[in-house]
């Protein structure tokens, strides 16, 4: 399937795609390092619950994924996960919510690691992964009752095309579940941040812009929630725990290198200064 893009438009998309892949590829292979870290902490690498704190590369981690699925009423069914990363949310939906999940991501290494980790924890039959662009989903129309995207739209240059593709692959009455970082009312974000080393890999819209594009794609709002204040409070609570000397638990920060500390500090600052916000929503195809 193609979106009818002109050669110039396709070239325009390739440049940011290269910056995005470069950013996510900087840490190398995740699967062997996750396995090694689990063993170093006395954890069974075949246990999906034990792996969960290490595989969720988004704000709020595993708790946010479970809360989003509960909030959206997701219980079973077939799900398309756009921007699946190394497959953490997909495995959570498969293991804890009895879903069959197809994940797509732009980064080849992430898709490879996602498949390896799913096989390792015995979830290969319920999760599958492919390298593809959200601008051009390689699926037939009306293929999925659920589409899921969690902290992925920040890296999507053409959100109009993405939401149109989501509407195309959703079945009538199907639902989109999203959890995203959006542009805030403040100035431009400080970089680097967890989703982009440089501004050329970041494509944020204000919440109202996201909402307008979703409606223009033919999707109808069921629920919408601004989580920005909640995210700021999480940042401040984490800072207070660090100042009190409380050790930080197991998480993907242990695998992302020294530069991730600056990315995380900038994300906290951006949230507190209103440069970015956080939303979650469920939309339905009429």
Domains of the chain: which residue ranges? 7-285
Query: With contact defined as beta carbons under 8 Å apart, do 188 and 276 qualify?
Result: no
Give the burial class of 244: count Cβ atoms within 10 A of its Cβ; 0-12 exposed, 13-18 middle, 19 or more buried: exposed
Would you state the pLDDT for residue 256? 87
Distance, in Å, from the CA atom of 69 to the CA atom of 106, rounded to the nearest integer, reads 23
| Mean pLDDT of all residues in 157-175 | 97
Residues 6+ apart with CB under 8 A from 196: 19, 20, 23, 154, 155, 202
Where is 93: in which H helix or E strand? helix 88-97
- Which residues in 34-96 belong to E strands, given as ranges? 77-82
Report residue 4's pLDDT band, with 50, 70 and 90 as the boundaries. Answer: very low
The 10s digit of each residue's pLDDT in 51-75 is 999 999 888 889 999 999 999 999 9
Give dist(CA 265, CA 275) in Å, integer. Answer: 13
* Average pLDDT of every residue of the chain: 91
| 3-state secondary structure (DSSP) of residue 247 | coil
The pLDDT, as a whole number, for residue 138 is 96
Q: What are the two backbone dihedrals, phi and then psi, of residue 86, each rounded to the nearest 5 degrees?
A: -90, 15
pLDDT of residue 248: 85
DSSP letter assigned to residue 121: T
What class does CATH assign to 7-285?
alpha beta
- Give the angle 177-180-181 at the CA atoms, nearest 5°: 170
Residue appearing with tokens 């992925």: 152
Report whether pLDDT(148) > 80.
Answer: yes
Least confident of 16-25, 187-196, 260-269: 16-25
Residues 15-47 have pLDDT tens digits of: 567 888 888 877 779 999 999 999 999 999 999
What are the φ and ψ backbone dihedral angles of 253, each rounded to 5 degrees? -60, -25
Strand partners, 179: 150, 280
């Amino acid at each position: 399937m193609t979106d009818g893009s002109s050669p110039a438009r396709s070239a325009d998309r390739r440049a940011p795609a290269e910056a995005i892949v470069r950013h996510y590829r900087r840490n190398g292979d995740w699967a062997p390092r996750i396995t090694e870290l689990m063993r170093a902490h006395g954890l069974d690498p075949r246990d999906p619950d034990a792996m969960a704190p290490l595989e969720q590369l988004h704000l709020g981690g595993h708790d946010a994924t479970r809360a989003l699925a509960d909030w959206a009423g997701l219980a079973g069914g077939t799900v398309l996960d756009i921007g699946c990363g190394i497959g953490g949310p997909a495995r959570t939906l498969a293991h804890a919510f009895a879903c069959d999940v197809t994940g797509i991501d732009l980064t080849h290494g992430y898709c490879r690691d996602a498949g390896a980790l799913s096989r390792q924890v015995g979830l290969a039959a319920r999760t599958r992964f492919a390298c593809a662009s959200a601008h051009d989903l390689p699926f037939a129309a009306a293929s999925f009752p659920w589409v899921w995207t969690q902290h992925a739209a920040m890296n999507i240059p053409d959100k109009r095309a993405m939401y149109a593709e989501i509407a195309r692959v959703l079945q009538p009455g199907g639902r989109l579940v999203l959890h995203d970082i959006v542009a805030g009312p403040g100035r431009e974000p400080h970089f680097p941040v967890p989703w982009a080393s440089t501004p050329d890999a970041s494509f944020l819209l204000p919440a109202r812009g996201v909402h307008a594009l979703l409606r223009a794609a033919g999707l109808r709002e069921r629920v919408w929630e601004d989580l920005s204040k909640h995210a700021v409070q999480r940042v401040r609570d984490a800072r207070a725990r660090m100042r009190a000397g409380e050790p930080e638990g197991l998480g993907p920060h242990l695998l992302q290198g020294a530069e991730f500390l600056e990315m995380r500090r900038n994300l906290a600052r951006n949230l507190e200064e209103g440069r970015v916000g956080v939303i979650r929503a469920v939309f339905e195809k009429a």
